[in-house]
Structure 1
């Protein structure tokens, strides 16, 4: 089917069109075959972005005056 999405299998490194294999062996869906091939790079970039956001969220600035020792 031409409108099916692409998936990446991290165990085998294969890209498939449509949901082949079990859900725990699939990354996706992706709109293009190339996006599916880049699944690990995309996931790494998203993880780095999320970690940076978490660090920014954890930075509350200077502690309150009564918390300083």
Structure 2
């Protein structure tokens, strides 16, 4: 059994991937947390995963730039 929120959660992960890609950022492990997908009492969690230092710096810079607007 999967969460009734699975479709919404998958769409949100795709939107996040696209937004990150627009800033040249890829999080290879980005996806849904599998343990939370099989439960039915709330939306699944998004697993951001691991990234290298260059990706962390790029993500930090993009967030700071957006916050400065």
- Is TM (by shorter chain) over 0.5? no
* Larger of the two Rg values belongs to structure: 1
Q: Which has the higher contact order (CA 8 A, sep 6+)?
A: 2
| TM-score, normalisation: structure 2 | 0.33
Structure with the higher helix share, 1 or 2: 2
